[in-house]
Amino acid sequence: MASRKAPRSIHVASLSLLLAASVQAGVALLVSSTSKVGFAQWIFAAAVMGLLLWGIGRGYRLAWLWGRYLTLFLSAMVLVSLVLGLWKGGLPWRVAAVMLAGLVLPLAATSIALGRPSAVDWFDLRCPKCRTPASRGKDFLFRQARCVSCGNVW
């Protein structure tokens, strides 16, 4: 599996995730002087992204699942908090712009890239029988995928 050449969508997803993780780690360092709780949260988020990055590179289906949906969720969460922060006037525009470019956009890009057909193939998520892409695993860890169309498990 490691010898396969990753498609462009996987490169895009990995680089976007790397950018987002770096920004997360940067924010963690910035908030470390003000609050300990914030630091732990941001470092945890950065660590999770690092783990996802590793899993995507290895072609782990669980990483695909989380990489596809967690990133979309986080992107929306950050976007909402940015809009709220600007609405209330407490958030400087410059910080909002950095968060938008460094977190919201790359996280969304990761999710979109992982939804590309070439990414689906990279994670071996296309049913060998009927070619339907699977988005759900047979078990919690997604070691095996189950086809929603024909019920095939692989």
Binding site for Zn ion (CB under 5 A): 127, 129-130, 132, 147, 149-150, 152
Structure-token match 């949906």, residue found: 69
Nearer to Zn ion, 22 or 152 (CB): 152
Identity of the residue numbered 18: L
Angle between helical axes of 61-88 and 36-58 (0-180°, round to 10):
140
CB-count exposure of residue 115 (10 Å: 0-12, 13-18, 19+): middle
Nearer to Zn ion, 4 or 129 (CB): 129
CB of 30: closest distance to Zn ion in angstroms?
48
CB of 123: closest distance to Zn ion in angstroms?
16
CB of 140: closest distance to Zn ion in angstroms?
21
CB of 9: closest distance to Zn ion in angstroms?
22
Contacts of 46 (CB under 8 A, 6+ apart): 21, 22, 24, 25, 28
User: What is the spatial distance between Cα 50 and Cα 46, in angstroms, rounded to a whole number?
Assistant: 6
Nearer to Zn ion, 83 or 150 (CB): 150
CB of 129: closest distance to Zn ion in angstroms?
5
Nearer to Zn ion, 35 or 149 (CB): 149
Nearer to Zn ion, 112 or 124 (CB): 124
Beta-bridge partners for 126: 133
Identity of the residue numbered 104: V
